[in-house]
């Protein structure tokens, strides 16, 4: 079978990238002087730059969607692959789906969340409880959309803020509170995505690509990046 490759970026991703870049620059001017916010700013910048890199993980079989030519052309524009030709090629009704991991939307924030967990004095019990709740929320709100992949609402990470305010110990400062937002939100969102990946019915739904934490089509990057920006603002207060 002819190999398909996803393009690096499309117009929608470029507009999203530019918007987040402008917001991040504004945060640099407002928050750089605060040492607690500085590390969140650096990580946010790394996440934004890393969002263009996708790491191939493995391939699996998923069902090809029965969609009209117009819908397939739209998917081809989103993913920058010839989806229409792929669906028409051969008689097989299964995709050889490529699963990729986005560096900026998954790898970098997860590594930083683990670093915060073991180095910044994050309260473990409160963090664990918030992580458990965020995992349930993220999994409940995530869904697999045929032809697109795992879609995560961009607002899901915001829910970690009221959880952190409620659960934070009285001695928790702004940097601690920011970490108590960032760690459970990032780990909870990423865990919810992984649970969705292993549990969606592959015999009923499919996609040429499944991008974990990607910027395209709300596949997780917006959710984690917004958490990072909000954590930066909280740490600078």
Domain ranges of the chain: 11-235
| Tokens encoding 133 | 């709740």
Q: Please provide the size of the chain in residues.
A: 237
- Residues 104-147: tens digit of each pLDDT: 999 999 999 999 988 867 888 999 999 999 999 999 999 988 77
Please report which confidence band the pLDDT of residue 8 belongs to, taking 50, 70 and 90 as the band edges: very low
- Residues 55-93: tens digit of each pLDDT: 998 888 887 766 556 666 666 665 555 455 555 544 456
Mean pLDDT of 31-40: 82
Handedness of CA 165, 168, 171, 175 (dihedral sign): negative
- Residues 164-174: tens digit of each pLDDT: 999 988 888 88
Determine which helix (DSSP H) or strand (DSSP E) holds 122, and give its type and residue range.
none
Q: Write down the mean pLDDT value for the chain.
A: 82
Enumerate residues 6+ apart whose C-beta is below 8 A from 45: 24
Inform me whether the pLDDT recorded for 3 exceeds 50.
no
Residue 171, classed as helix, strand or coil, is coil
How many Cα atoms are found within 13 Å in the side-chain-facing hemisphere of 93? Answer: 8
Residue 160: closest CA among 111, 236, 229 = 229
Residue of 148 and 136 predicted with greater confidence: 136
Residue 78: closest CA among 1, 149, 156, 154 = 149
């Amino acid at each position: 079978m002819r190999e398909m490759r996803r393009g690096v970026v499309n117009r929608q991703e470029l507009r999203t990238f530019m918007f987040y870049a402008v917001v991040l620059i504004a945060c640099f001017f407002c928050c750089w002087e605060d040492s607690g916010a500085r590390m969140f700013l650096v990580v946010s910048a790394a996440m934004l730059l890393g969002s263009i890199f996708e790491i191939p993980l493995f391939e699996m079989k998923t069902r090809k969607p029965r969609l009209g030519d117009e819908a397939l052309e739209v998917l081809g524009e989103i993913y920058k692959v010839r989806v229409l030709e792929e669906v028409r090629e051969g008689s097989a009704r299964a995709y050889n789906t490529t699963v990729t991991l986005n560096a900026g939307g998954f790898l970098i924030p997860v590594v930083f969340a683990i670093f915060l967990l073991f180095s910044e004095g994050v309260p473990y019990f409160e963090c664990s409880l918030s992580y458990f709740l965020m995992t349930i929320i993220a999994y409940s709100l995530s869904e697999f959309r045929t032809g697109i992949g795992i879609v995560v609402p961009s607002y899901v990470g915001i829910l970690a803020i009221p959880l952190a305010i409620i659960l934070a110990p009285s001695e928790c400062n702004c940097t601690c509170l920011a970490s108590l937002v960032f760690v459970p939100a990032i780990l909870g969102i990423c865990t919810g995505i992984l649970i969705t990946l292993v549990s969606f019915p592959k015999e009923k739904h499919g996609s040429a690509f499944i991008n974990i934490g990607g910027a395209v089509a709300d596949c997780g990057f917006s959710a984690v990046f917004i958490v990072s920006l909000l954590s930066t603002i909280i740490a600078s207060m």
